[in-house]
Structure 1
Amino acid sequence: MKGLIGRAALATLGALMVAANVFAAEPEAVPGEFIVKLKSPISSQSLSVLSTELGYIKDVIPNQNIIVIKRPMFEIQSTVVKSLSEHPDVDIIEPNFIYRISKTPNDPMLGQLWGMKNIGQPDSQKKDGIAGMDINAEKAWDIQTGSRDVIVAVIDTGVDFNHPDLKDNMWTNEAELKGQAGVDDDGNGIVDDIYGASFVNANAPTGNPLDDHGHGTHCSGTIGAKGDDGKGIVGVAWNVRIMGVKFLSASGSGSLDGALKAIDYATSKGAKVLSNSWGGGGYSETLKQAIERSNAAGAIFVAAAGNESNNNDSSPTYPATYDVPNVLSVAAVDNRGQIASFSNYGKTKVHVGAPGVNVYSSVKGGTYDSWSGTSMAAPHVSGMAALLASNEPTLTGVQMKDRILATSRPIAGLRGKAKGGMADAWAMLTNTTPPPDANDPINWQTVAVSVSSPHPYKEKSSMEFEVRVPGAKQVALYFEKFDTEREYDKVELFDANGKKVATMSGKNDDSFATPVDGEYVKIKFTSDDSVNRYGFDITKAAWR
């Protein structure tokens, strides 16, 4: 599985993918390693016995009653799980899965942050935006810009806590900051964890969460780069405390045991918002239980939906699809309001969308860069949660999730792709339900149309169709069914002047295409010489 969920990276940053069929590869795990939760409390005597009966004990997580064991790598994973699950002292056993990275302030780079303030400016790839297609941050900043009382844990590759746009908004562990160097002053087993901690080597955590990849720093800048300081960028929350919780390495990957310790560290240190732009592995009961502990503590767990163009309703992606009340899953949207081509989606398992294409933010080394991924979308919502917690400190994580979902703004690009719409910071703070999207064809007049490809279509197809709605200024075709081989078999839409308006490929059932200006649309369908799927059925056209 993948981790970093930015740039489609195990618990790759953002890349979260789970097998959709029995022929798919097994979720990635550390070879020979297993997470074992025991039924009885751990003691030195029991460890001696268990090391003989279960395998070499690599690490112990006593507060969770968990041991990490290492078995010979030639053993078949499923056989080990089945065999050891029958041991009388074993409650849960699972592979040690791998995860990957997959206000009007005076900050001079605000104009490059289309996700905060979209006036139609082009993004870093020169793609023009649509004014207002953002999280409505500028209006929200008139109400709230954040509070130093709110802690956001960025569970990721770490944070460049020396970055000029982040250093003033870093969380500090006062016991360690004011204590003795080289001493575990707060007695939590980690020495000098001043700005957070690192669990890359889960059995030997350190107090140094410095980012050696860049992904966690990028996420942190979107969440809480210092605002109104006359330099660099601005985060959704101008004032906040960012806790660096590192379990993903310089390569963007990390393991289940590290994730468990990272989440529990953030929870124990009082983080109200846990931001998670990573994913991978298979279903893990111990990871779910760690998230449940954050829920019990009143925190919200914001998770990137993943970067595999996957339907999370039918093929779950973790941690974004865990059925825990405080989990809020975020899809990526571009500066024109369309769900990103790489973004995972799901009518029930993906909750809202947020800016995630060509997002400009801080990176390690004190610089800035533009990245894409659901990894970039989730921090926008984490920053919003920080604003909400600042404005209404008594809200629980579940209440914050419910508010963000209920006040999300309907947009055409997310209809049918997420439970809600575009996350809206102003509507969230004012607890206002946004109006229907006037640009969504579902709100237009419709006429019946009947245009279909053969079912299934043939290889090397090349077909053209025309639709005309006399008097219309814009037309949007409705595809009741759409299933083609992704990226290879395509439907292209052209206006009356021959300008290509949209290209569609993959699965797009029950969806309106991008509107075409004028009363005429030409549809061109082409396929290659390999996989043949259902094709498409156009059953109506919306117009205005």
Structure 2
Amino acid sequence: MKTSRIIKPLVGLAAMIAAAATANAAVPEVKAVPGEFIVKMKQAVDTSSIKSLSASLNAEGAEIVSEKGKVLLVKRNQLETAGFSMNALKNSGLVEYVEPNYIYNALNLPDDPMMDQLWGLINEGQSVGDLGEGTPDMDIDAEKAWSITTGSEDIVVAVIDTGVDYRIADLAPNMWANQAELNGQPGVDDDGNGFVDDVYGYDFVNNDGDPLDDHGHGSHCSGTIGARGNDANGIVGVAWNVKIMGLKFLSASGSGSLDAAVRAIDYAVANGANIMSNSWGGGPRSEALLEAIQRANEAGVSFIAAAGNHSANNDASPTYPANYEVDNVISVAAIDNRGQLASFSCYGSTTVHVAAPGVDILSTTPDGFKSWRGTSMATPHVSGVAALLLAQEPNLSPAEIRERIVFSARPKATLRNKVASNGIVNAYHALTNTAAPIDLMDPYFWPQEAAEHSTAHPYADNANESITFTKEGAEYIAVHFSRFETEGGYDFVIFKDAEGAEVARWSGTYDDSFSPSVPGDTIIIEFVSDSSVTKYGFDIDGIAFREAEGE
């Protein structure tokens, strides 16, 4: 049985899931491996200098994380406080920066009910799990994209995650293989890349050549990216023909360290990956991780990352690695089968680039097909689209790939000011380099009039109030909130039509946003709060309406 080299208790996936399940979840707590620090040296490092450097840094041990980046993993006495150790390393005069060996977590939200349709690829309005019927065509337009290309075996997507179960029938034909190791001698570094027996990738948790998934998260992401298609078996990925490189840096508990993340990124770059899919996060800003992503950008490798599952505005409260301002980073939010931003999804009008299907997504795991939810499930949809795009236009740079994906996203009213593209990733329009049609149900494009209403700031406990707006002759009506902040998951604004039928409800933060559009000429807005924790409330500053034909 494999043993993780991280032997101290870590924040596991279960704790992360519990936190993300509530729309009001706080930003995940920062965790680090006790006694371990990531250090960038001022001078070059190599294996011959490790022993002397370790002694100079008064360390119990040191390992090279990135020779090119001059980055070491330094181990100090765990009885020292982190602050003492970091100050001692900084004051040595040998280092450029020091940071804790942060711990990251997988960003999925597992769900028990199975679904039997891949609505994210082809949405015909089918019922999905607990969500009920979806909105037809609320998908990534995979079917139309496949008429152009189903991908290329020349494109390699590195799934940096919990590993990949390369034995799964839908994944096995599309696994990247290191041919020198596949046809070489066991226990020998046949290709001289510094890694032994790395046939399908590498395991940076246990430092061996077998990235077999012992959790399921990485395999689930891999299936969405590139499960083999047209083979009368299981499911199909966004890119039918692609190569998946398995890079395991998250353990069976769903947690992994900063040094392992940096090593995985550098491995992907050195071994020919074109795209990295990253459905993980949780640590604070790290210079070592930033520099690894920058090295990937310089090598022409895209870095696609989950925006996060704690319902935060990433413009104000960054989530890493999705928030790094590097040209190859594409940050991905999650939507449900009706095109609504998922209740758990982070967002950001400038720092989150695009949304993708991320609720009740069916894919491959070592234990069969399972439906999971999270920005983890949204991210591989975008990774798959990037793989299709590179198959069609292999000379695109990471910056050009991001620009194309943002430009070609399908606009959706519910995503306006939530992601930079205001829309959902669209494979067909990305491949054809065309703009998707505007959302005619977006109140942004309708006639507008001034209107005012505000709650108390902050609102009171046990609030219960109602306000009605009417625009005679309107076919649809919506209101605009200049500011909207309620206690997520506990205090709600409910939107109803003239008959009192509920159309939608909001909880959380929706600044500078139009409400869902309500059919008819009247919108009723009800606000209810619980008996504890109050927030700002909301300010309405206008209405928008779609006029009935002939008006």
The match for 2:356 is 354
The match for 1:429 is 431
The match for 2:111 is none
> Which amino acid is the alignment partner of residue 137 of structure 1?
A
> Which amino acid is the alignment partner of residue 221 of structure 2?
C
Q: Are 1:14 and 1:374, in contact at CA under 8 Å, matched by a contact in 2? A: no
**Structure 1 residue 395 and structure 2 residue 400: aligned?**
no
| Counterpart mapping for 1:45-64 below 5 A | 45=49, 47-51=51-55, 53-61=57-65, 62-64=67-69
**Structure 1 residue 76 and structure 2 residue 81: aligned?**
yes
Call closer, same or farther: CA 1:479–1:448 in 2, change over 3 Å: same
The match for 1:37 is 40
Which 10-residue stretch deviates more, 297-306 or 400-409? 400-409
| Counterpart mapping for 1:439-458 below 5 A | 439-458=441-460
Q: Are 1:13 and 1:278, in contact at CA under 8 Å, matched by a contact in 2? A: no
**Structure 1 residue 28 and structure 2 residue 31: aligned?**
yes
**Separation (CA, whole Å) in 2 of partners of 1:194 and 1:293:** 24
The offset of 1:29, in angstroms, is 0.5
> Which amino acid is the alignment partner of residue 381 of structure 1?
V
**Separation (CA, whole Å) in 2 of partners of 1:14 and 1:466:** 32
Call closer, same or farther: CA 1:126–1:353 in 2, change over 3 Å: closer
SS of match in other structure, 2:303: strand
| Counterpart mapping for 1:55-204 below 5 A | 55-61=59-65, 62-102=67-107, 112-201=117-206
Call closer, same or farther: CA 1:18–1:31 in 2, change over 3 Å: farther
Which 10-residue stretch deviates more, 225-234 or 459-468? 459-468
Which 10-residue stretch deviates more, 53-62 or 312-321? 53-62
> Which amino acid is the alignment partner of residue 262 of structure 1?
A
Deviations 1:426-463 (A, max 9, x none): 11101101222111111122233222212222222211
**Structure 1 residue 480 and structure 2 residue 482: aligned?**
yes
**Separation (CA, whole Å) in 1 of partners of 2:266 and 2:50:** 24
Q: Are 2:458 and 2:534, in contact at CA under 8 Å, matched by a contact in 1? A: yes
The offset of 1:14, in angstroms, is 12
> Which amino acid is the alignment partner of residue 388 of structure 2?
L
The offset of 1:3, in angstroms, is 9.3
State how many pairs are aligned: 527
**Separation (CA, whole Å) in 2 of partners of 1:172 and 1:281:** 31
Call closer, same or farther: CA 1:19–1:340 in 2, change over 3 Å: closer
Q: Are 1:460 and 1:528, in contact at CA under 8 Å, matched by a contact in 2? A: yes
| Counterpart mapping for 1:260-271 below 5 A | 260-271=262-273
**Separation (CA, whole Å) in 1 of partners of 2:54 and 2:26:** 33
Q: Are 2:496 and 2:503, in contact at CA under 8 Å, matched by a contact in 1? A: yes
**Structure 1 residue 384 and structure 2 residue 388: aligned?**
no
The offset of 1:417, in angstroms, is 0.7
**Separation (CA, whole Å) in 2 of partners of 1:45 and 1:395:** 39
**Separation (CA, whole Å) in 2 of partners of 1:330 and 1:270:** 24
Which 10-residue stretch deviates more, 382-391 or 66-75? 66-75
SS of match in other structure, 1:117: coil
Runs of 5+ unmatched residues, structure 1: 103-108
Call closer, same or farther: CA 1:356–1:309 in 2, change over 3 Å: same
The match for 1:340 is 342
Deviations 1:464-519 (A, max 9, x none): 22222222222222112212222222211222332222221221111111222222
**Separation (CA, whole Å) in 1 of partners of 2:371 and 2:181:** 34
Deviations 1:96-154 (A, max 9, x none): 0001102xxxxxx9971111111111112242111111111111111111011111100
SS of match in other structure, 2:449: strand
SS of match in other structure, 1:313: coil
**Separation (CA, whole Å) in 2 of partners of 1:480 and 1:440:** 16
Deviations 1:225-259 (A, max 9, x none): 00111111110001001010111011001001110
**Separation (CA, whole Å) in 2 of partners of 1:432 and 1:6:** 41
The match for 2:297 is 295
The offset of 1:390, in angstroms, is 0.5
Which 10-residue stretch deviates more, 471-480 or 369-378? 471-480
| Counterpart mapping for 1:7-22 below 5 A | 9=17
Runs of 5+ unmatched residues, structure 2: 1-9, 108-113, 547-551
Call closer, same or farther: CA 1:455–1:507 in 2, change over 3 Å: same
The match for 1:106 is none
Q: Are 2:115 and 2:129, in contact at CA under 8 Å, matched by a contact in 1? A: no
Q: Are 2:20 and 2:344, in contact at CA under 8 Å, matched by a contact in 1? A: no
Question: Of 510, 513, 516, which residue of structure 2 is paired with 1:511?
Answer: 513
The offset of 1:324, in angstroms, is 1.1
Identity %: 51
The match for 2:280 is 278
Q: Are 1:479 and 1:510, in contact at CA under 8 Å, matched by a contact in 2? A: yes
Which 10-residue stretch deviates more, 470-479 or 288-297? 470-479
The offset of 1:69, in angstroms, is 1.7
Q: Are 2:60 and 2:77, in contact at CA under 8 Å, matched by a contact in 1? A: no
**Separation (CA, whole Å) in 2 of partners of 1:76 and 1:6:** 28
> Which amino acid is the alignment partner of residue 247 of structure 1?
F
| Counterpart mapping for 1:207-222 below 5 A | 207-222=209-224
The match for 2:370 is 369
The offset of 1:165, in angstroms, is 0.7
Which 10-residue stretch deviates more, 435-444 or 303-312? 435-444
The offset of 1:191, in angstroms, is 1.9
TM-score (norm 2): 0.91
SS of match in other structure, 2:523: strand
**Separation (CA, whole Å) in 1 of partners of 2:493 and 2:466:** 10
